[in-house]
Structure 1
Amino acid sequence: MFRRRTQQAVEESPSTANDAKSGGKGRPTPKRRDAEGRRRQPVTAPKTRKEAYRQLRERQASQRARVQEGLARGDERYYQPRDRGPVRKFARDWVDSRRIVSQYFLPFSLVILILTWVPFPVAMRQYIYFGVITVAWPVMMVSVLITAIWVGWRVKKVALEKFPGENMKGIGFYAAMRAMQIRRLRFPKPMVKVGGAPMPTPSSRR
């Protein structure tokens, strides 16, 4: 009697194991390197030189677009090392929030250059040369020099009060040189309007 039950249990055990295996995955567990190999995307190398150049141009265009977007947001990761840091940002904002005489130096110089090329009559040319080159040009140069000295001194003084312990090396010269540039040509681009109001970023315009 016991022998018959034991033999019956042994005969039923393979079917039970098969049922359990059929209820599972039904296949052996894949190896890790096989699974990772299937997850990897196939890398297709360019077949021709023209296709390689096209892919290179697309990557460069995408990178330039990412850099331009970061610069427009004021992301300092895309700035040059000389433009990074809270002190440099303060100097830029201080200059950009004001109308300074020295920022008109380049447009004024361009006007003088154009006037020297215009074929005025001889009598009128003498008055123009005297008024522009002999009077206005020296006055502008002295004004730019005085303004640059004042901007550099003022920015450094306020920055020392606002950022104690920070490195102030070259901050005055940095602010003075930015004040001599035309506002639209300044880089990094101004992040504040004249008066101090913040400029709208590309994300806020959408």
Structure 2
Amino acid sequence: MFGRKKDEPSAQDSVDQLATDAPAKGAGAGKGAPTPKRKEQEAARKRPLVPTDRKASKDAERIAVQDQRQKMRQALDTGNEKYLPLRDKGPQKRFARDYVDARFSLGEYLMFGALLFVVISFVIPTGSNVLSYVLIGFWVMFLAVFADVVVLSRKLRKGLAQKFGEVERGTIWYGSMRSLQFRRLRLPKPQVQRGQFPS
């Protein structure tokens, strides 16, 4: 009455069945190769700290540096953003360059005024009235350049804020210092004509 049915599998039969099925299921699941030893993996990853052919390595490095410098020189001429130095990269720096290059700045001629003052001070004897007038003229020019830079800074800040929203740190200083350089000697070279302000 309480006995087991003959056709119901016993617990031992179930265990035996699992043992015979396991190898059949996992036969195709292996990786097909033994796991490499740690020493073999480390040896495969090892590279010499110093290249075996130092001369060839130095030549390749020198050629790569020359190529990079050539690309940077071309970028300073053409304004190619990809190879410009880090200090000149970015849309705000480009806007500042174009804005400064589009306007006439008194600061372009400050260095010429300073050079002229030095030459005149050597030629004219000390204590002459002419030297005093030249000195006064130089200071007037210096103050005019200072006022021009202040006006440029305000206009540049306003233009950058309108176009980009937030002005990056150092961009106003970057534009102001560029305005003090003679136009033909500026790097990167001007990419706009005078009066061609960026939109």
User: What TM-score do the two structures reach when normalised by structure 1?
Assistant: 0.61
Do the aligned residues in 2 keep the contact of 1:96 with 1:193 (CA within 8 Å)? Answer: yes
Shift of 1:53: 6.8
Residues 1:128 and 1:145: Cα distance change in structure 2 (over 3 Å): same
Listed as ranges, the matches of 1:1-206 within 5 Å are: 45=53, 57-118=62-123, 120=124, 122=125, 126-133=128-135, 135-164=136-165, 166-196=166-196
Do the aligned residues in 1 keep the contact of 2:110 with 2:180 (CA within 8 Å)? Answer: yes
Do the aligned residues in 1 keep the contact of 2:77 with 2:189 (CA within 8 Å)? Answer: yes
Q: Give unpaired runs (5+ residues) of structure 1.
A: 1-43, 199-206
Higher Cα radius of gyration:
2
Give the structure with the larger helix fraction.
1
Residues 1:114 and 1:195: Cα distance change in structure 2 (over 3 Å): same
Deviations 1:61-83 (A, max 9, x none): 33322222233221222223332
Shift of 1:197: 8.5
3-state SS of paired residue (1:193)? coil
Do the aligned residues in 1 keep the contact of 2:108 with 2:179 (CA within 8 Å)? Answer: yes
Deviations 1:5-64 (A, max 9, x none): xxxxxxxxxxxxxxxxxxxxxxxxxxxxxxxxxxxxxxx947xx6x88766654443332
User: What TM-score do the two structures reach when normalised by structure 2?
Assistant: 0.62
Residues 1:127 and 1:100: Cα distance change in structure 2 (over 3 Å): same
Shift of 1:84: 1.7
Moved more, 149-158 or 59-68: 59-68
Residues 1:59 and 1:103: Cα distance change in structure 2 (over 3 Å): same
Do the aligned residues in 1 keep the contact of 2:102 with 2:194 (CA within 8 Å)? Answer: yes
Residues 1:175 and 1:66: Cα distance change in structure 2 (over 3 Å): closer
Do the aligned residues in 1 keep the contact of 2:161 with 2:167 (CA within 8 Å)? Answer: no
- Once residues 136 and 169 of structure 1 are traced to their aligned partners in structure 2, the CA distance between those partners, rounded to angstroms, is 35
Deviations 1:77-129 (A, max 9, x none): 222333222111111101101111111111111111111122x4x59x71330
- Once residues 60 and 169 of structure 1 are traced to their aligned partners in structure 2, the CA distance between those partners, rounded to angstroms, is 30
Residues 1:103 and 1:110: Cα distance change in structure 2 (over 3 Å): same
- Once residues 130 and 113 of structure 1 are traced to their aligned partners in structure 2, the CA distance between those partners, rounded to angstroms, is 13
Q: Give unpaired runs (5+ residues) of structure 2.
A: 1-51
Q: How many residues align?
A: 147
